[in-house]
Amino acid sequence: MKTLKLKVPASTANLGVGFDSIGMALDKYLEVEAHLSADEKWHFEHIGPHLLGLPNDETHYITNIANRATEKFNKEMPALNLKMFSDIPLARGLGSSASALVTGLYLANHFANLKLSKYELLQLATEIEGHPDNVAPTIYGGLVLGVYDPELNHTDVSYIDIPKVDVIATIPEYELSTEKARKVLPETLFLKEAVKYSAISNTMISALIQHNYELAGKMMMKDGFHEPYRQHLIPDFHNIKQVAIEHGAYATFISGAGPTVLTFIKKELSGKLVRALQDEFKNCESELVTINRFGASQEIINL
Ligand SMILES: Nc1ncnc2c1ncn2[C@@H]1O[C@H](COP(=O)(O)OP(=O)(O)O)[C@@H](O)[C@H]1O
Ligand SMILES: N[C@@H](CCOP(=O)(O)O)C(=O)O
């Protein structure tokens, strides 16, 4: 039986100061095997702890996305049988919903024969998500910067080299939905503030391009777009940052909408810090995560 196999990475959005614009793909994955359903109904089999509680019929988010994509191109989405495994914890700021969204689009592209390019998949993904910072690295891999213009319904993206640093994710055991974490943000900023924080963001990117991680890290921790409004939702944030800085980290910031906290640190220092974080914050899982360079991948196999 012809089966589509997808491997779709996690992501960390914002990188401190790039709210809704900057993101990086991580080596954690949503993996899916899909084939046409014999009884024309959707069936999901979830393997592993991270997908617990998700529906196993057509009410699934992935079905919804696949149907939306096919309707847009006046095609029909056939029902599928899916087996899914994920090591991306849900609602932790590691882009689980973006990986599900991208999965839905890849399924539609293949099974409804939409023939969309990666560029077009990105346009569609951003139109649905409203910002490219998770979906762009999920599709392309690496570190991606982007902007979505809702009036033109168009997304532009650009890439820079992935930083040569070690990355530590400190993942709390509780969930924080992006929806809730967006509700605490202000509607507007004064021009003076917007100028200040976009200047910080510009400087951060330039420093990353020059591999000046001291300066990039300093800028990453001066965010004014989201972190000040969200940090109260993550009670350990301040202390995690403190421990990381004491261990020589370049920067510690909220991953996506949180509650995961991400740290950039020199390769020589990362082992000691990850063990210290694990010892100190027992209600969190602290782990070294690598950066994914290639984005979502697919292959067709005969099972
Ligand atoms: N593989 C998946 N299949 C279906 N729905 C998913 C999947 N992954 C995530 N979701 C949905 O997305 C929600 C989490 O999204 P969100 O709050 O944006 O957090 P994050 O994307 O940071 O993990 C989950 O509670 C679930 O409803
Ligand atoms: N820019 C968004 C990113 C949300 O990322 P997620 O991984 O938490 O879904 C935001 O900060 O709200």
Model confidence at 303: pLDDT above 80: no
Span 237-248, average pLDDT: 98
Angstrom distance (rounded) from CA 89 to CA 10: 9
Angstrom distance (rounded) from CA 258 to CA 239: 15
ipTM of the complex: 0.99
Binding positions for ATP: 89-99
In this structure, the number of other CB atoms found within 10 A of the CB of residue 10 comes to: 31
Ligand 1 centroid to 91 CA: how many Å? Answer: 6
Q: What would the 3-class secondary structure string for the chain be? A: CEEEEEEEEEEEECCCCCCCCEEEEEEEEEEEEEEECCCCCCEEEEECHHHCCCCCCCCCHHHHHHHHHHHHCCCCCCCEEEEEEECCCCCCCCCHHHHHHHHHHHHHHHHCCCCCCHHHHHHHHHHHHCCCCCHHHHHHCCEEEEEEECCCCEEEEEEECCCCCEEEEEEECCCCCHHHHHHCCCCCCCHHHHHHHHHHHHHHHHHHHCCCHHHHHHHHCCCCCCHHHHHHHCCCHHHHHHHHHHCCCCEEEECCCCCCEEEEECCCCHHHHHHHHHHHCCCEEEEEECECCCCCEEEEEEC
29 touches 297 (CB < 8 A):
no
Can you give the pTM of this predicted structure? 0.97
Q: What percent of the chain has pLDDT over 70?
A: 100
At 93 the pLDDT is 98
For ligand 1, what atom is nearest to the CA of residue 95? 21
At 235 the pLDDT is 97
CA atoms within 13 A on the CB side of 136: 28
Model confidence at 191: pLDDT above 90: yes
pLDDT tens digit sequence for 46-67? 998 889 999 999 999 999 999 9
Ligand 1 centroid to 211 CA: how many Å? Answer: 33
Span 209-230, average pLDDT: 98
85 lines ligand 1 (CB under 6 A): no
At 1 the pLDDT is 83
At 49 the pLDDT is 83
Span 4-28, average pLDDT: 98
CATH of 2-161+292-302, one of 3.40.50.720, 3.30.230.10, 3.40.50.2300, 3.60.21.10: 3.30.230.10
User: For the chain, what are the domain ranges?
Assistant: 2-161+292-302, 166-289
> At the top level of CATH, which class does the domain 166-289 belong to?
alpha beta
171 beta partners: 285
Residue nearest to atom 5 of ligand 2 (CA): 256
Residue nearest to atom 9 of ligand 1 (CA): 97
Return all residues near 287 (Cβ < 8 A) that are at least 6 apart: 168, 169, 171, 274
Tokens 């096919």 correspond to 70
Return all residues near 110 (Cβ < 8 A) that are at least 6 apart: 4, 298
Span 244-252, average pLDDT: 98
pLDDT tens digit sequence for 117-159? 999 999 999 999 999 999 999 999 999 999 999 999 999 999 9
19 lines ligand 2 (CB under 6 A): yes
For ligand 2, what atom is nearest to the CA of residue 185? 12
100 lines ligand 1 (CB under 6 A): yes
Q: What percent of the chain has pLDDT over 90?
A: 97
Ligand 1 centroid to 272 CA: how many Å? Answer: 32
At 134 the pLDDT is 98
Span 256-281, average pLDDT: 98
Ligand 2 centroid to 91 CA: how many Å? Answer: 10
22 touches 14 (CB < 8 A):
yes
Q: 260 vs 120, 147, 153, CA distance in Å? A: 30, 24, 30
At 175 the pLDDT is 97
Ligand 2 centroid to 75 CA: how many Å? Answer: 31
At 48 the pLDDT is 83
Angstrom distance (rounded) from CA 120 to CA 152: 14
pLDDT tens digit sequence for 73-118? 999 999 999 999 999 999 999 999 999 999 999 999 999 999 999 9
For ligand 1, what atom is nearest to the CA of residue 60? 4
At 239 the pLDDT is 98
Give the mean pLDDT of the chain: 97
223 touches 200 (CB < 8 A):
yes
Angstrom distance (rounded) from CA 112 to CA 255: 34
Model confidence at 32: pLDDT above 90: yes
Angstrom distance (rounded) from CA 181 to CA 199: 24
Amino acid at 150: P
Of the residues 44, 80, 96, 182, which should be mutated to test ligand 1's pocket, given the most ligand atoms within 8 Å of the CB? Answer: 96
